[in-house]
């Protein structure tokens, strides 16, 4: 998927440049792109390193786990089909907790384990079960409390107040999560009626 889009972006860009006579710009773009990528990485590197360091402390001290436990009661309500003592809920909460703190590398393994547990409960193995769909909608909305890469770039481009976007970003996430979950809720209701 990403491969196609990558190729299409380059293809459209170059072909359009051929026809519009924009070749000088494209030549310059090709030659300077890699340097721009290096600048971007150098801008991101320090804060990613700093933040993964700090988050490692949260992981080792058990704070992440505590945070995940705090989410558990809310999750029971969102996943009525999953038995309370099932491991899946634990993995889902660690996935969401890790995502919230911007710990993507810890979130993905927990998310994959959650899917594995949900699959064990699933009756039709090639079809997505309702809890899986709810989990993915929740996950793709991606509630992040500390968006480190964005903050790093805002600092690099000399924002007067790099962190001013944190609160509106959290609110936007909440709104989009609620929208996704509401849609999911109504589709579920409708499917139940048909049964």
Using CB under 8 A as the binding rule, the residues of this chain from 12 to 41 that contact another protein are 12-14, 16-17, 20, 22, 25-26, 28-30, 33-34, 36-38, 40-41
* Closest to 81 measured CA to CA, from 133, 116, 126: 133
Give the nearer residue to another protein in terms of CB position, either 72 or 164: 164
- In angstroms, the Cα distances linking 174 to 88, 90, 137, 168, 169 are 23, 21, 12, 10, 9
CB of residue 78 to another protein, shortest distance in Å? 13
* Interface segment toward another protein; rule CB under 8 A; list 9-17, 69-77, 81-89: 9-17
Q: Could you say whether residue 74 binds another protein (CB under 8 A)?
A: no
What whole-number distance in Å separates Cα of residue 168 and Cα of residue 177?
A: 14
- 149 exposed, middle or buried (CB, 10 Å; 0-12, 13-18, 19+)? middle
CB of residue 45 to another protein, shortest distance in Å? 5
Q: Which positions from 137 through 156 interact with another protein, judged by CB under 8 A? A: 137, 139-142, 144-147, 149-151, 153-154, 156
User: In the set 123, 127, 189, 195, which binds another protein (CB under 8 A)?
Assistant: 127
* Closest to 183 measured CA to CA, from 145, 143, 144, 136: 136
CB of residue 82 to another protein, shortest distance in Å? 15
CB of residue 182 to another protein, shortest distance in Å? 9
Give the nearer residue to another protein in terms of CB position, either 1 or 84: 1
User: How crowded is the C-beta side of 128, counted as CA atoms within 13 Å?
Assistant: 10
- 68 exposed, middle or buried (CB, 10 Å; 0-12, 13-18, 19+)? buried
What whole-number distance in Å separates Cα of residue 57 and Cα of residue 36?
A: 33
User: In the set 77, 85, 123, 160, which binds another protein (CB under 8 A)?
Assistant: 160
* Interface segment toward another protein; rule CB under 8 A; list 70-78, 80-88, 112-120: 112-120
CB of residue 74 to another protein, shortest distance in Å? 17
* Closest to 137 measured CA to CA, from 186, 101, 171: 186
Give the nearer residue to another protein in terms of CB position, either 27 or 72: 27
């Amino acid at each position: 998927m990403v491969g196609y889009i990558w190729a299409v972006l380059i293809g459209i860009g170059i072909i359009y440049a051929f026809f519009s006579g924009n070749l000088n710009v494209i030549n310059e773009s090709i030659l300077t792109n890699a340097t721009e990528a290096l600048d971007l990485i150098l801008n991101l590197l320090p804060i990613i390193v700093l933040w993964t360091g700090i988050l490692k402390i949260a992981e080792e001290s058990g704070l992440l786990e505590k945070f995940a436990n705090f989410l558990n009661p809310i999750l029971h309500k969102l996943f009525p089909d999953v038995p309370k003592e099932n491991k899946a809920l634990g993995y889902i909460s660690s996935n969401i907790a890790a995502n919230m703190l911007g710990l993507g590398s810890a979130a993905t393994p927990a998310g994959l384990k959650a899917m594995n547990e949900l699959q064990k409960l699933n009756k039709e193995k090639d079809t997505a079960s309702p809890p899986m769909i709810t989990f993915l909608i929740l996950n793709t909305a991606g509630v992040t409390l500390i968006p480190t890469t964005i903050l790093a770039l805002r600092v690099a481009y000399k924002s007067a107040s790099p962190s001013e976007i944190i609160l509106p970003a959290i609110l936007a996430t909440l709104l989009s999560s609620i929208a996704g979950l509401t849609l999911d809720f109504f589709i579920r209701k409708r499917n139940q009626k048909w049964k």
